[in-house]
Amino acid sequence: MRELTDSEKRILDDHEKWLRRDDSGVRADLYGADLYGADLYGANLRSADLRSANLRGADLDYSCWPLWCGSLDAIIDKRIFAQLAYHLCRTVCDDPEVQEAQRSLRHIANQFHRVDECGRIGDGEDA
């Protein structure tokens, strides 16, 4: 895991200020950024522009993944995919199509690096 560069730290600090509505803050523009292996543990990435950012190998534990178009086309690795799949599979939805999609993701979701701590998703469970 690599430490963030001073520039990356500044971007995230300014983003935190922006989220708090501090006039000195600026929304994080990480479009196309190379964040390979970056330590983003606990980073609040809400509303950050991560489009096409390389997040392979990054630590996103306890961070906030943006659920808007700003995270489209982010480049991730299997570890992050499994983490996202795990969280998606642990949501509760009564729609049969969603439940089928969750069942199809269980195998990869159970490869989440914190599955021992959070619990394995069993085959007999409703997704």
Mean pLDDT, range 81-99, rounded to an integer: 97
The answer on pLDDT for 121 being more than 80 is yes
The four Cα atoms 43, 71, 56, 44 give a dihedral, to 10 degrees, of 0
Helix 78-89, helix 96-109: angle, nearest 10: 140
H helices of 20-95, in order, are: 78-89
What are the structure tokens assigned to 74, written together? 């982010």
Report residue 62 CA to chain centroid gap: 9
The answer on pLDDT for 110 being more than 70 is yes
pLDDT tens for 28-79 read: 999 999 999 999 999 999 999 999 999 999 999 999 999 899 999 999 999 9
- The distance in angstroms from the start CA to the end CA of the chain is 32
In the chain, the percentage of residues whose pLDDT exceeds 70 is 96
Mean pLDDT of the chain: 95
The answer on pLDDT for 89 being more than 60 is yes
